[in-house]
A and B are shown apart, each in its own frame.
Chain A
Amino acid sequence: MLDVLTGFVGELRAAGLPVSMTEAVDAAEAVHHVPLEDRQALKYALASTLVKSSAHWKAFETAFEVYFSVRTPQSASGQGQSAEGDGEEQGEEGQQGTEEGAGSGGGGGGDTLSAEELAEMLFRALLSANDAQLSALARRAVSRYAGMEPGRPVGGTYYLYRTLRNLDLDGMLRRLMARARQDAGGELTPLEERLARDEFQSRLDRLRRELEDEIRRRLVADRGAEALARSLRKPLPEDIDFMHATRQELADLRRAIHPLTRKLAVRLARKRRHGRRGPLDFRSTVRHSLSTGGVPVDPKFRYPRPAKPDIFVVADISGSVASFARFTLHLVYAISSQFSKVRAFVFIDGIDEVTRFFEGVEDVTEALHRINTEADVVWVDGHSDYGHAFTVFWERWGEEITPRTSVLLLGDARNNYHASQSWVVQEMRHRARHVYWLNPEPHAYWGTGDSILGEYAVHCDAVFECRNLRQLEHFVSELA
């Protein structure tokens, strides 16, 4: 057990979780107090001692599933479904070798269901929310469609994709909805429709999890926990790269940014209040001394109120860097109370001020959405042209930059070989308090290809690499 635990802790550390020595000791201690055959209890015991942040839960869960799933769940579910189990094992043997032909090979096996029958059984299991049946069917679906090849160093996403493609869950959802309507006798009210859809969606999500678990179990059996854990390792939300995030990861990021902004705002507000000690507040000190008979036991100080900076955000929102610009704007606006004024400009080859979208709107997401649809940012062909955008910016809004303004320029400076017009940045720096450039590209790529960051960088106060939330948060908190 201790070996497994040590390996597990090592894996968590490798995945980026900060697990200290004492926490590992606690975990070993905690394991003594839970029944080992109860996997769920073990999971919570380990989680409570090793994982100290909800953002890390997902990484923990993946690692846990890999390290502690080899025997227990299979034997447990195998007992429940022993009648079907035998036939299935056979089918599995036959199919693991054949890759794409799994469908036809399985069909000929005799004791395996045909594709339609499988779909039909799945449909019924989903409709009646029969969980045991669902996991049994998930196992069959994986045997049939995933076409797993032993020894291939993959994380299983491909197998999952292949299974899901064959099962056609969207079609399944449509069928389920049609059935629900039928049962209700014709039409559902919009509310019922919505509720039914959410219910079925959650059952489908369950099926998807079952499939994932099944694939993972087979991969563990094939390649061992350690190797699999390595290929399953995913970056923590704060380390996800803006430019290469998948859709799922972007959704994770959006969820992560909300609590982050709240934390940032609280921290900055505190910093502002307690940052410096001011001169003695004589009046307040004397007043408080009355309760100690005129002895000034507790001196009171005046807290200075430092001036808040103005912020101009000038962001490239063309394809590759769009999500970066969105997150930065989101973060800046979420803490806009820390600045005396925030103005936002977005550009591709034309430039437009978008401050108006944020005015009087409670919901930053809504405003960001409107930027994407309504801002007028295309001038000629919709390819980034920093030079033109900056020139127009200077002509129209340059006057409004004051010595209290900090200008943030956002983008990868990939200018499609247009003129850089870097004199604008130089002029800006003369007028503004600071000019910062934030680049979502890794440092090594700066200045390669059509990136002309170097030409702008010489005129900026500083250039930062901002590839993930961690770096972005750090920059923004320094700024305020």
Chain B
Amino acid sequence: MREVGRESSPGPLGFPEPGPPRFESAADVRRRLEEIGYLADDGIAGVVHLADRLAKPVLVEGPAGTGKTELAKSVARITSSRLIRLQCYEGLDESKALYEWNYRKQLLRIQAQQVVGDGAGGGPGPGQPGPPAWRALEEDIFSEPFLLTRPLLEAIRSAEPVVLLVDEVDRVELETEALLLEVLSEYQVSIPELGTVRAERIPMVFLTSNSTRELSEALKRRCLYLHLDYPTLERERAIVLRRVPGAGQELADQVARIVRSLRTLELKKYPSVSETLDWARTLVVLGVESVDAEVAKSTLHVLLKYRSDLERAAKELSVAEADGSAGRGGSVPG
């Protein structure tokens, strides 16, 4: 079998050798992320730095809307890498994740061969190519021009630096996870007809999960684990200031404090960071300088998405009953 791709030297004990460091230190990660507007905390920066040094994928878990996908995108930006994204869904299989043979093209190729064979008139007869011809054909149709690369293989084969994002990995079935294992630990893909494709430069890999199910031990073991929770008050305030143009100190502070209060309640769905940002933007568009009960009441539905949550929040924040809160949606742009 032919060996595709240049061999990257496996390190001691077969560990993949990490390339030249992308970051100097965790602080460096943090600074560079901040430059492009992603405010990381010590944990995030530390794990990203380690992932680079240990050449291990990062499994990012946490509630929806806390910036899991954004983290991968931001890391791609600061390392000026191409982001390759594999969106997981139920029923994802090898042919969508790794590679697929372009069988339509292969069929066409075979038919073309037959036509050519008939035209020449020689050979053993139509439709029955002799053994040597068949072998040549087989070599031919199982070669690179007939290979459709899918995200995982593409990330491995890419000559330029890439960041691979495997989004919502908890959506695939337990069995399908196994597909990822070879890629994640060895950074290689085995194609029976072609041989093993190894990564020239180990890509940074991020897997995100909304923890709708436990991931398998095998997968977890191969990854560094990062739990992204709702940010602290200070960080959320900083995020609002950074990401919402036009939001003043006071507004950001109030927004962050109200959101923190909401998260202490027992709600079905807690306001996420992205919803906090939406809310802050809404307030800026409405020209609100400081949030009072009235304003909060009429815009709470940007933050909370269940009627029971809205009612409870309105009650708990001692805001008068938010009746017909759905009807007020019209007053808010965006």
Chain A residues within CB distance 8 Å of chain B: 18, 20, 22-23, 26, 29-30, 33-35, 40-41, 44-45, 47-49, 51-54, 57, 189-191, 193-195, 198-199, 202, 254, 259, 262-263, 266-267, 270, 274, 291-293, 297, 362-363, 365-366
Bound Cα distance A404, B257 (Å) = 52
Residues on the A chain within 8 Å of B90, using CB = 270
Residues on the A chain within 8 Å of B3, using CB = none
| Contact, CB under 8 Å: B316 / A194 | yes
* Known interface pairs A191-B319, A194-B316, A266-B213; A45-B257 also in contact (CB < 8 Å): no
**Contact partner of B292 among A23, A26, A189, A266, CB < 8 A?**
A189
**Contact partner of B318 among A20, A44, A45, A190, CB < 8 A?**
A190
B35 contacts A by Cβ under 8 Å: no
Residues on the A chain within 8 Å of B292, using CB = 189, 191
Tell me which residues from 26 to 54 in chain B have a Cβ below 8 Å from any Cβ of chain A.
Answer: 26, 42-43, 46-47, 49-50, 53-54
Residues on the A chain within 8 Å of B302, using CB = none
Bound Cα distance A75, B312 (Å) = 46
Chain B positions 203 through 227: 1 when the CB is less than 8 Å from some CB of chain A, otherwise 0: 0000000011110010011011111
Tell me which residues from 276 to 334 in chain B have a Cβ below 8 Å from any Cβ of chain A.
Answer: 291-293, 296, 306-308, 316-319
B68 contacts A by Cβ under 8 Å: no
11 contacts between A and B (CB under 8 A): A30-B50, A34-B50, A44-B42, A52-B221, A52-B225, A54-B62, A191-B258, A191-B317, A194-B317, A267-B213, A292-B103
Residues on the A chain within 8 Å of B293, using CB = 189-191
| Contact, CB under 8 Å: A202 / B233 | yes
* Known interface pairs A26-B54, A30-B54, A198-B257; A44-B43 also in contact (CB < 8 Å): yes
* Known interface pairs A266-B212, A362-B268, A365-B266; A18-B227 also in contact (CB < 8 Å): no
| Contact, CB under 8 Å: B308 / A194 | no
Known: A33-B50, A292-B104, A362-B307. 19 other contacts (CB 8 A): A18-B217, A20-B221, A22-B221, A48-B50, A48-B226, A189-B293, A190-B293, A190-B317, A190-B318, A191-B317, A195-B258, A198-B264, A202-B233, A254-B266, A262-B212, A266-B213, A274-B173, A292-B107, A363-B308
Q: List the 10 closest A-B pairs by CB distance, nearest first.
A: A190-B318, A44-B46, A52-B220, A48-B224, A33-B53, A54-B227, A191-B293, A52-B225, A44-B43, A198-B261
| Contact, CB under 8 Å: A41 / B54 | no
Residues on the A chain within 8 Å of B62, using CB = 54
* Known interface pairs A30-B54, A33-B54, A195-B261; A293-B317 also in contact (CB < 8 Å): no
Residues on the A chain within 8 Å of B54, using CB = 26, 29-30, 33
Query: Closest A-chain residue to B53, C-beta based?
Result: A33
Bound Cα distance A33, B212 (Å) = 32
Residues on the B chain within 8 Å of A263, using CB = 211-214
Query: Dominant SS at the A interface?
Result: helix
Bound Cα distance A7, B261 (Å) = 40
Bound Cα distance A44, B50 (Å) = 10
Tell me which residues from 5 to 20 in chain B have a Cβ below 8 Å from any Cβ of chain A.
Answer: none
Bound Cα distance A270, B170 (Å) = 13
**Contact partner of A23 among B221, B226, B254, B291, CB < 8 A?**
B221
* Known interface pairs A30-B54, A33-B50, A194-B317; A199-B212 also in contact (CB < 8 Å): no
Chain B positions 63 through 79: 1 when the CB is less than 8 Å from some CB of chain A, otherwise 0: 00000000000000000
B168 contacts A by Cβ under 8 Å: no
Residues on the A chain within 8 Å of B42, using CB = 40-41, 44
B236 contacts A by Cβ under 8 Å: no
Bound Cα distance A48, B211 (Å) = 16
Residues on the B chain within 8 Å of A33, using CB = 49-50, 53-54
Residues on the A chain within 8 Å of B291, using CB = 191
Residues on the A chain within 8 Å of B221, using CB = 20, 22-23, 52
Chain B positions 233 through 275: 1 when the CB is less than 8 Å from some CB of chain A, otherwise 0: 1000000000000000000001001101100101010000000
Query: Closest A-chain residue to B253, C-beta based?
Result: A195
B61 contacts A by Cβ under 8 Å: yes
B59 contacts A by Cβ under 8 Å: yes
B56 contacts A by Cβ under 8 Å: yes
* Known interface pairs A194-B261, A199-B257, A270-B90; A45-B217 also in contact (CB < 8 Å): no
What's the minimum C-beta distance from A269 to chain B, rounded to whole angstroms? 10
Query: Closest B-chain residue to A189, C-beta based?
Result: B293
What's the minimum C-beta distance from B332 to chain A, rounded to whole angstroms? 19
Residues on the B chain within 8 Å of A291, using CB = 104
Residues on the B chain within 8 Å of A362, using CB = 268, 306-308
Query: Closest B-chain residue to A44, C-beta based?
Result: B46
| Contact, CB under 8 Å: A47 / B225 | yes
Bound Cα distance A51, B227 (Å) = 10
What's the minimum C-beta distance from A95 to chain B, rounded to whole angstroms? 35
What's the minimum C-beta distance from A363 to chain B, rounded to whole angstroms? 5
What's the minimum C-beta distance from A448 to chain B, rounded to whole angstroms? 36
Residues on the B chain within 8 Å of A297, using CB = 103
Residues on the B chain within 8 Å of A30, using CB = 50, 53-54, 224
| Contact, CB under 8 Å: A41 / B46 | yes
Interface centre among B212, B217, B221, B316 (most CB of A within 10 A): B221
| Contact, CB under 8 Å: A41 / B26 | yes
Residues on the B chain within 8 Å of A293, using CB = 107
What's the minimum C-beta distance from B181 to chain A, rounded to whole angstroms? 13
Bound Cα distance A435, B318 (Å) = 47
Residues on the A chain within 8 Å of B43, using CB = 44, 47-48
Residues on the B chain within 8 Å of A270, using CB = 90, 173
Query: Closest B-chain residue to A265, C-beta based?
Result: B212
Bound Cα distance A51, B225 (Å) = 7
Residues on the B chain within 8 Å of A190, using CB = 293, 317-319
Residues on the A chain within 8 Å of B306, using CB = 362
Query: Closest A-chain residue to B226, C-beta based?
Result: A48
Bound Cα distance A365, B221 (Å) = 36
* Known interface pairs A33-B50, A274-B173; A198-B260 also in contact (CB < 8 Å): yes
Residues on the A chain within 8 Å of B224, using CB = 26, 30, 48-49
Query: Closest A-chain residue to B90, C-beta based?
Result: A270
* Known interface pairs A191-B317, A270-B90; A48-B268 also in contact (CB < 8 Å): no
What's the minimum C-beta distance from A137 to chain B, rounded to whole angstroms? 22
| Contact, CB under 8 Å: B318 / A26 | no
Residues on the B chain within 8 Å of A23, using CB = 221
| Contact, CB under 8 Å: A44 / B260 | no
Bound Cα distance A363, B310 (Å) = 12
Residues on the A chain within 8 Å of B59, using CB = 52
Bound Cα distance A199, B225 (Å) = 31
Bound Cα distance A365, B307 (Å) = 15
Residues on the A chain within 8 Å of B260, using CB = 198, 202
**Contact partner of B308 among A22, A41, A366, CB < 8 A?**
A366
What's the minimum C-beta distance from B218 to chain A, rounded to whole angstroms? 10
Residues on the A chain within 8 Å of B220, using CB = 52-53
Residues on the A chain within 8 Å of B56, using CB = 26
Query: Closest B-chain residue to A259, C-beta based?
Result: B211
What's the minimum C-beta distance from A347 to chain B, rounded to whole angstroms? 27
